[in-house]
Chain A
Amino acid sequence: MRLRSWFLFPAWIWLAALFAAPFAIVMAYSFLTRGVYGGIEAPWTAESYQRLADPLYFAIVVRSFAIALAATAICLVLAFPAALFIARAPRHKNLYLQLVMLPFWTSFLVRTYAWIFLLRDTGLINTALQAIGLIHHPLPLLYNDGAVLLGLVYAYLPFMVLPIFATLERLDPSLAEAAADLGARPLSTLFRVIIPLSKPGIVAGCVLVFIPCLGAYLTPDLLGGGRTVMIGNLVQNQFTTARDWPFGSAISIVLMLLVVAGLWAFLRRESEPLV
């Protein structure tokens, strides 16, 4: 057992120096005051947290929630039939799963850039639509909330497919057959038998998509244009342009609390540990 202590020693250093310490500093900053030149000064105050109630910032929090929820819902609707198809495929299941994962393994930045390439005014979609004469001026596809939503759905879709596939795969096929024998049409079997039984996978998928979407930074930054679209952009903005570290820290702490709440809800259901 001595060996175990030695082996865990570097991990404890990681926990103290690179996990707990930065978090503690941000926590402390969030209760301090912004200096005249952007530094951090006394006195201790909860003012930064109160500022989050300001309608301007609160609107960004609400919009982040709305975008993350919408992305989760769209992912669910898009992923469920795909997961069902893979789970019922008589062969090539692994190939299909790898096809789902493949874009996920390529660079996140590249996947986001792909949508700039497709959606911008001189991008592929606008160029093609103009070439066939359907439109005469480029459609404003990029740099709006819709583009951000599309980017998030594209980025996190695999997170929804995999857990739903995992529960559908374990589902006893005789249950659907029994429903059919008892006269249920395919659609009513789907909605009254299969979907209720795949709830664990649906819940897991929703949490796995919702958590990263809520804290997203790069997607809204690149596809949303210069505006502050989501909480992540607000945090970044406070630490760079605005140089208001106490306020940026307070937003980070609130964002962390929201994420932890989501994780806690997930772990309460998930019995199988990762570590």
Chain B
Amino acid sequence: MKRWLAAYAAAFFAFLHLPLLTLAVFSFNSSRFTVWQHFSLDWYRAMFHDPQILEGTRNSVIIALLATAISTIVGTLCAYGLWKRGSRMLTGALYLSLVTPEIVTGISLLALFQWAFRWLGWQLGIFTVVLAHVAFSIAFVVIVVSARLRTISPTLEEAAMDLGANEWQAFWHVTLPALIPGIVAAALLALTVSFDDYVITSMVAGVDSQTLPMVIYAMARRGASPVINAISALITVFFGILILVSEKVREA
């Protein structure tokens, strides 16, 4: 049974990893067909000369950085507040926002923006995408930071306050420094989910805010192209590095 299990596990890991590996391998193929010719970096070159991909990447980076900054701050403060004393309503809303199907989040934010813009006269754009990303990434931040907070004893802050620190000082000098690894891990997670999102973004983006996933989606819809393989390989490496860094930070 042991040997069967090991053989099965090998097949299981192959199923998980081979699709992405072959995708990456064929990004170095000189032919645009799925027949191996010889090694080439043409598709990577094509990628860096595609104005849509460049603009999408730029938009994605701006949106991800802004959304990450906002959701990390709001989520960390929220996690700390809930750690002090829970709130069933807030916790319930955070859970719900996590399990809401992305398409439902997308259309409801679109409905909100359209409704609000009737009076404000604004239009969908980078700003609405950032708000939407903040909306769905806060719950991720709260969960990661809360996990870190659970390893911290509340008696530390009590001791600080017995020694004359006020609430703010106890937070700033005692709890916050111990939280940094959790906050960094949460920020990296928020960055990943923001940079990756297609469904919600596509509902609330305007003409000037096409993100990289939207460009990839449009290309995939038109049929496969080795350029998508190249972007995919780069994105996978990029995410891989982000996750490795966040794991290292979390272990610290």
> Chain A residues in contact with chain B, CB under 8 A?
1-5, 7-8, 10-12, 14-15, 18-23, 25-26, 29, 78, 81-82, 84-86, 88, 96, 98-100, 102-103, 105-118, 120, 122-124, 127, 131, 154, 157, 186-187, 211-212, 214-218, 222, 232, 235-236, 239, 245, 248-249, 252, 255-256, 259-260, 262-263, 267, 273-275
Q: When A2-B167, A217-B103, A259-B99 are in contact, do A114 and B23 touch as well, CB less than 8 Å?
A: yes
Interface of B is mostly: helix
Complex Cα distance A34/B8, Å?
A: 54
Assess whether A255 is in contact with B16, with CB atoms less than 8 Å apart. Answer: no
Assess whether A110 is in contact with B103, with CB atoms less than 8 Å apart. Answer: no
- Rounded to whole Å, the gap between the CB of A152 and the closest CB of chain B is 13
Q: When A107-B239, A235-B107 are in contact, do A113 and B8 touch as well, CB less than 8 Å?
A: no
Q: Which residues of chain B are near A99, meaning CB under 8 Å?
A: 13, 16-17
Query: Could you list 5 further interchain pairs (A-B, Cβ under 8 angstroms) beyond the known A3-B167, A109-B217, A110-B216?
Result: A15-B93, A113-B224, A124-B26, A235-B104, A275-B82
Complex Cα distance A105/B241, Å?
A: 10
Complex Cα distance A122/B82, Å?
A: 53
- Rounded to whole Å, the gap between the CB of B147 and the closest CB of chain A is 8
Complex Cα distance A122/B236, Å?
A: 24
Binds A, one of B40-48, B134-142, B178-186: B134-142
Determine whether B1 belongs to the interface, using a CB cutoff of 8 Å to chain A.
Answer: yes
Complex Cα distance A141/B6, Å?
A: 29
Assess whether A123 is in contact with B232, with CB atoms less than 8 Å apart. Answer: no
Q: Which residues of chain A are near B198, meaning CB under 8 Å?
A: 108-109, 218
Assess whether A8 is in contact with B87, with CB atoms less than 8 Å apart. Answer: yes
Assess whether A106 is in contact with B84, with CB atoms less than 8 Å apart. Answer: no
Q: Quick one: CB contact mask for B216-227 with A, threshold 8 Å, 1 for yes? A: 110011011000
Assess whether B97 is in contact with A19, with CB atoms less than 8 Å apart. Answer: yes
